[in-house]
């Protein structure tokens, strides 16, 4: 689909530059643009932009219970995948012969592919969590799983970021994790909501896991990604604890299951769009404010020069609290602050 060559009007010039390492991708001619854009979409299904839209959409508009439990599974799968990468330490495919159309995660190790793990865990978990809870033909889920999983997995090979072995390892690793831990997802979610000391336990456990992951190997973007994942999971769990205890969001009783899809009306769609717009603006404002506060504060506390933010963030003392606190507040906003705003203005 691609070949190396000089810059041209239709070269791949909008590659996702890694702002932390300064690395940029190769210039390449693309002869099959529909395939290129298809796999760009597939790889985005495992990136931050997708997650920050996907999980809030489930929690705000579809089913908070399914959204929370998807987050629990995602945090577990991604954390184990990131840590396993740093234990195995298999390098990315060499270039050449591979043409790397993406370099954002190039500083991380390769096996297992966490994109493949996410692309396997999310669709399978969606079907497991919704079938029987919602009324829909199972065939829809059986079509969704291979399509979603194949698109994400093949996109990583096309982009030059993983070998076929990395993809297979990520897929099989995810199946193993789901087989072992999926039976406990309900228990974990109920604990997060109902246990008196759940917030303290959640914050302490996720912080300890973050510190452990930072000691596995030298710095790479996986360090910050892992802290971001753990912080988001902790924030969403703590937010769900607060919303449950004040009665802001209550899950439907088991007596009314399976749930039927409500009729699609202009009012329903309008409220959904309004919730997404208001919610995402608030979440992005929270993320930006916390980033501007936590990085200089961590530099000051640990006496780390802050004139070069990129270098400062490569210190564990800065990156761990910055990512953990910032995305912890993002997660807390998603499950408590934003739903409270919806309730206050009458669009919940």
pLDDT at 91: 80
Catalytic (active site) residue 241: no
Instruction: Reply yes or no on whether the pLDDT at 13 is more than 60.
Output: no
Q: How far apart are CA 306 and CA 294, in angstroms?
A: 12
Is the full-model pTM beyond 0.75? Answer: yes
In the Cβ-directed half-sphere of 242, how many Cα atoms lie within 13 Å?
Answer: 17
The β-bridge partners of 134 are 131, 259
Candidates 60, 53, 65, 52; CA nearest to 336 is: 60
Catalytic (active site) residue 115: yes
**Between the CA of residue 123 and those of 1, 118, 147, 148, what are the distances in Å?**
27, 9, 9, 7
* Measured torsion, CA atoms of residues 124, 127, 128, 132, in degrees rounded to the nearest 10: -170
What are phi and psi for residue 138, nearest 5 degrees?
Answer: -60, -25
In sequence order, what DSSP letters do the residues of 10-41 get, joined into one string?
A: TB-------TTT------EEES-HHHHHHHHH
Q: Could you tell me if 38 and 151 are in contact, meaning their C-beta atoms sit under 8 angstroms apart?
A: yes
Number of Cβ within a 10 Å radius of residue 303: 7
pLDDT at 5: 47
Token output for 330:
């993002």
pLDDT digit string, tens, across residues 188-241: 999 999 998 999 999 999 888 888 877 766 666 777 788 889 999 999 999 999
pLDDT at 215: 72
Q: Give the contacts of 37 (CB within 8 A, at least 6 positions apart).
A: none
Structure-model confidence comparison of residues 312 and 84, the more confident one:
84
pLDDT at 236: 94
CA angle 277, 294, 214 (to 5 degrees): 105
The residue assigned the tokens 């493949």 is 116
The β-bridge partners of 28 are 4
* Range from 6-20, 66-80, 90-104, 246-260 that averages highest in pLDDT: 66-80
pLDDT digit string, tens, across residues 31-56: 778 888 888 888 888 888 899 899 99
Among the options 115, 195, 206, 241, which is catalytic?
115
Instruction: Reply yes or no on whether the pLDDT at 23 is more than 80.
Output: no
Structure-model confidence comparison of residues 268 and 317, the more confident one:
268
In the Cβ-directed half-sphere of 193, how many Cα atoms lie within 13 Å?
Answer: 21
Among the options 29, 162, 241, 315, which is catalytic?
162
Q: How far apart are CA 183 and CA 329, in angstroms?
A: 28
Sign of CA dihedral 242, 232, 330, 320: positive
pLDDT digit string, tens, across residues 73-127: 999 999 999 888 888 888 887 777 777 777 777 777 778 888 899 999 999 999 9
| Position 136 confidence tier, pLDDT thresholds 50, 70, 90 | confident
pLDDT at 56: 93
pLDDT at 14: 44
Instruction: Reply yes or no on whether the pLDDT at 282 is more than 70.
Output: yes
| Position 147 confidence tier, pLDDT thresholds 50, 70, 90 | very high
For a pLDDT cut of 70, what percent of the chain falls above it? 91
Q: Could you tell me if 73 and 187 are in contact, meaning their C-beta atoms sit under 8 angstroms apart?
A: no
First-to-last C-alpha distance (Å) of the chain: 46
Candidates 327, 326, 314; CA nearest to 21 is: 314
pLDDT at 89: 81
Structure-model confidence comparison of residues 32 and 297, the more confident one:
297
């Amino acid at each position: 689909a691609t070949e190396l060559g000089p810059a041209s009007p239709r070269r791949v010039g909008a590659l996702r530059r890694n702002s932390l390492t300064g690395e940029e991708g190769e210039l390449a001619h693309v002869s099959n643009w529909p395939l290129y854009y298809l796999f760009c979409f597939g790889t985005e299904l495992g990136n931050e932009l997708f997650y920050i839209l996907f999980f809030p959409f489930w929690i705000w508009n579809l089913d908070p219970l399914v959204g929370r439990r998807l987050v629990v599974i995602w945090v577990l799968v991604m954390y184990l995948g990131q840590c396993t990468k740093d234990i195995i330490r298999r390098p990315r495919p060499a270039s050449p012969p591979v043409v790397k159309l993406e370099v954002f995660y190039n500083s991380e190790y390769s096996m297992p592919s966490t994109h493949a793990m996410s692309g396997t865990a999310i669709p399978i978990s969606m079907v497991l969590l919704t079938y029987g809870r919602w009324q829909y033909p199972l065939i829809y889920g059986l079509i969704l799983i291979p399509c979603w999983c194949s698109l994400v997995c093949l996109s990583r090979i096309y982009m030059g970021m993983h070998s076929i072995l990395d993809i297979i390892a990520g897929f099989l690793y995810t199946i193993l994790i789901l087989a072992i831990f999926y039976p406990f997802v309900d228990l974990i979610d109920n604990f997060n909501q109902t246990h008196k000391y759940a917030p303290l336990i959640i914050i302490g456990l996720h912080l300890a896991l973050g510190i452990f992951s930072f000691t596995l190997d030298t710095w790479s973007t996986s360090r910050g990604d892992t802290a971001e994942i753990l912080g988001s999971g902790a924030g969403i769990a703590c937010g769900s604890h607060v919303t449950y205890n004040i009665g802001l969001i209550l899950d439907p009783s088991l007596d009314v299951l399976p749930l039927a899809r409500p009729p699609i009306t202009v009012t329903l769609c309008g409220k959904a769009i309004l919730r997404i717009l208001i919610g995402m603006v608030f979440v992005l404002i929270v993320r930006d404010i916390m980033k501007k506060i936590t990085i200089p504060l961590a530099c000051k506390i640990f006496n780390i020069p802050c004139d070069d933010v990129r270098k400062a963030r490569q210190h564990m003392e800065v990156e761990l609290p910055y990512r953990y606190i910032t995305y912890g507040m993002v997660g807390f906003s998603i499950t408590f602050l934003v739903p409270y705003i919806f309730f206050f203005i009458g669009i919940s």
